[in-house]
A and B are shown apart, each in its own frame.
Chain A
């Protein structure tokens, strides 16, 4: 692969991710609306929100770290997208592998945490404390799942993992081979999205949306962008791990949207979990499923 092609891929991958991510946000809001018997937002609503927020006149900053935090939140995901192979584009996936990807996905949270910290608002700090706790909750099953998949494939290279799954069609998909891990991964993925019922760190009525409390204008806009990336990254990662990636774009997008639709459909049916209940839930069922699944992998 020539350097130009690589460069084009590196530019295209985040761009595609952003566009698809916006559609995913739209889908999420539409699902919520449908479940509540509403019409839901128009097609371009995510774009309107982002453009509006970026065009606000007032941009209240609490300091340089506040700004940098948002940059890190967006930049971390933009970098992560280049490690996430999509049909026809592998980017630099083989230079990092899945562990690196998981770690890069933590960078935005850390950046956000820094930015929120500088905001000097205790609601934000409480939110971050809860968000980090939630991360502790869902990363444990997630890590088990990733371990199982990587061990089964014998590699941490996502391209190889996908290739292994695509080798024998549906039978060799991760989800078919390791159904328990797939279920555990789905639950962990749901929690990692930070949507209902796992949005204790946002808790609007209690801590005024937690981390976002002091975010207005382009700061909030950056976070909206980040959310697009987050939805995309999470669902595509799941597709890569369990649903054999995508052979073509249609296949790929279909799977990604479907995967995301499952937790979204569940999300709006439940009330919020408290932090300790979230921890208890996450450390019990998905971990148990994941460990049994890993045991099956070893057998």
Chain B
């Protein structure tokens, strides 16, 4: 049997898993696994033709089970997501090697399980990305869900509870997809990808709606779309450091992949647009777009209230997912490109941010935003990484997040969607607010006495962070590099392709050239610096030499503002949170609990059997007569 390139990649990935599984306890295991991830990346790059020109590469492995044919293949879409997956796995794994690993073991963590779970996640994700029919898609989907569960539950305690919550949500989503799968199978008698298109053409409006809801909901759970977003933040945040970087970067994007594959490529946006929401003026596409913007706004503002750096970032991860979906469902050239570019960009800065926070935890032992401060003088490189990351996250120039958000905005503007546009901008503003809180409370302000002797994170952690920072900046400067891959992805899923250049996008209605923008920005900084440094030399003073209305500051007085950071804002909108959809989850939980109690009562009552028997007889009598 000839091995195709895809087979090589999957074998490599499987080998990584086996290495992690069997020699994961060895000290060099981390490095070995990292090198193998590098090998996977090389195997993926051998398929680079997919990313640049499109086409498909099939796996030579096919199966036939119970009359269902299973096959696997890669196209530009898979390749793009696989690139992000393996890239983030490589860097996260690199980050975990050496210093972090040792401290993790010292704290009683199981590093073998960690490496295994990471390798398993990558492997299952690749299988999902390679799925060539709906059944293999579902199989990959479930595998990814459970692999994710393993990684999330690693830390035990709070993490395990969060993972439990995740798996309940994921199962619900999985079952929705399962149901949708069955409907498609019924309609078209096949589970090949083309069958979806056939099924969709045959289906009536109501059934199609059901299908869209089942698939949208099922995939949406993984993406953390409203109102299924509650599981994500605690689950990602409580995962051990590099794991959360990896999960935050790519895991929930698998949902977007599936949405792109099924809803966009196979259903077609046109079909979705033709589904009207009854009694309203909007259609299913608008509905998805609105879900997307609420997914942007609410988690972002929830993030603002977090007091733990990891939770804050994880909540943003949910919110940023909304931009991706928004861009994709707007589905014009710029929107599609923006949504997909944001997948790439988000992976880079989210991984960098989680790594920076992990570095801080590694040195200080806490990620509590109220217990940190002033670390910039002790961990300047981590500060720079975090700064670059938050600029990307907030979508400000000159980092890459700006480009993707710009594209999404432009598409909304071109399509004339003012409310969505407004909502997207509100999300961005909220992001700016909360990321400032993040960087301020960790790195700025007064250095605490107990952190006087903290030093910069070790190089084994620093290098992956710096690489990511460089990627964030370079792709911000030259977004044409990822846009080239995205162009083939857009072609693959049948969306229009924007007219891109190395520095941005050309368009008759206003274009963007990041090389120029960043050029003048840095020139501006240069001029500013010239003005600034031409004046007298400044003198550093101690942080306690500070205006306090004439008060004498001493080290034991905590002269720092970190708690209830946006007090004025919360004064107005604090009351609007109201548990942020927790009521929904609690309501469902209580309902299940209540029903469960009733059902147990049914079985456990002293003479329940007789009641039941009479009910049964009654039912029989009713049916017979």
Contacts and interface: CB of A to CB of B under 8 A. Distances in A.
A96 B513 CA distance: 6
A162 interface: no
Interface stretch (B224-232, B308-316, B406-414): B406-414
* Residue from B446, B522, B528 having most chain A Cβ neighbours under 10 A: B528
23 contacts: A54-B536, A61-B540, A62-B543, A71-B529, A71-B532, A77-B524, A92-B513, A92-B520, A94-B510, A96-B517, A104-B517, A106-B432, A120-B543, A122-B559, A122-B560, A125-B560, A128-B440, A133-B433, A160-B510, A214-B546, A225-B531, A280-B572, A294-B418
Contacts of B516: 92, 95-96
A204 interface: no
A155 interface: yes
B568 A133 contact: yes
Q: At the interface, is chain B mostly helix, strand, loop or mixed? A: helix
Interface string B554-576: 00000111100111110111000
Contacts of A192: none
A149 B447 CA distance: 47
A14 B525 CA distance: 12
Nearest to A136: B429
Contacts of B541: 60-62
B567 to A, nearest CB: 7
A109 B529 CA distance: 16
A14 B524 contact: yes
Minimum-distance CB pairs A-B, first 6: A275-B568, A117-B444, A156-B510, A79-B524, A75-B528, A75-B525
Nearest to B537: A59
* Residue from B436, B522, B545, B566 having most chain A Cβ neighbours under 10 A: B436
A100 B537 CA distance: 34
A79 B430 CA distance: 24
A256 interface: no
A73 B521 CA distance: 11
B601 interface: no
B538 A218 contact: yes
A107 B397 contact: yes
B527 interface: yes
Contacts of A154: 509
Interface in A94-153: 94-100, 103-104, 106-107, 110, 113-114, 117-123, 125-126, 128-130, 132-133, 135-136, 139-140, 143-144, 147-148, 150-151
Interface in A58-99: 58-65, 67, 70-80, 82-83, 92, 94-99
* Residue from B376, B410, B526, B568 having most chain A Cβ neighbours under 10 A: B568
Given A75-B521, A114-B444, A276-B568, 15 more contacts: A63-B376, A74-B528, A79-B524, A99-B409, A100-B397, A120-B446, A120-B559, A121-B548, A122-B445, A132-B566, A144-B422, A151-B418, A155-B509, A218-B532, A222-B532
A62 B430 contact: no
Nearest to A200: B568
B280 to A, nearest CB: 18
Interface in A188-223: 200, 208, 213-214, 217-218, 221-222
